Amino acid sequence: MADVIDTLRAGRRIGPPDALVAAFAAAAESEGLLDVAYATYDAPFGRLVLGATPLGLVRLAFDHVDDVVAELSSRVSPRILLAPGRLDVVRRQLDEYFAGARRMFELDLDMRLAGSAFRRAVLAAAEAIPYGQVRSYTEVAATAGNQGALRAVGTALGANPVCVVVPCHRVLRSDGTISGYAGGADKKDYLLHLEGAR
């Protein structure tokens, strides 16, 4: 990190802005100062914000970059930096998914933002829904161990910290209609059509 700062203080350029970002990220990581890396990803329906810790993907959100960075800074660590390189594998797998070439993500996940044990059970039930299939909120509630907790299931899915990768979009009302989704009903519908579930 000191080498990067000394270079800048001396008035020497590191290169284009992307090279400067990469240099800072590499220096911070080498000195153990990078707890959370974040990057953006341009999905077919809009921008996603990605966050990763050394344990794995911790956040995939439809929200504004500043909001996600503020959330990660307060809930995970203030040592957060734009470091796209750490998220290359995630972005590559998202590319494959949106191209129709990937049906299952193979990523390490850091689920510390998932919440309670029940919420984690709900997300595990959603993660187990196969590509191209859907389940009802009632079915997910039963799988998570509390068939009557439909509202709690909806809340848990709405707070899914890694949407798309943990496919909460595969959960529908019992009549097959789309209900709430953090990214909006249009994005949920897009994902279901992409997977051939609509």
**CA angle at residue 89 from 156 to 81, to 5 degrees?**
75
Residue with tokens 């709690």: 152
Domain(s) of CATH 3.30.160.70: residues in the chain? 34-98
Whole-angstrom CA distances from 39 to 74, 83, 96, 155 are 17, 6, 18, 26
Residue whose C-alpha is closest to residue 137's, from 154, 119, 123, 120: 154
Q: What residues does CATH 1.10.10.10 cover in the chain?
A: 117-194
Number of C-beta neighbours around residue 74 at 10 A: 9
| Structure confidence at residue 30 (pLDDT) | 63
Cα–Cα distance, 178 to 30 (Å, whole number): 45
Looking at 3.40.50.10540, 1.10.10.10, 1.10.3210.10, 3.30.930.10, the CATH number of the domain 117-194 comes to 1.10.10.10
The one catalytic residue in 81, 168, 192, 194 is: 168
- Residue-level pLDDT at 4: 46
Instruction: Determine whether 163 is an active site residue.
Output: no
Q: What is the side-by-side strand order in the sheet with 56-61? A: 56-61, 46-53, 36-43, 80-82
* pLDDT reported for residue 31: 61
Give pLDDT tens digits for 49-99: 999 999 999 999 998 999 999 999 999 999 999 999 999 999 999 999 999
Domain 34-98 of CATH type 3.30.160.70: yes
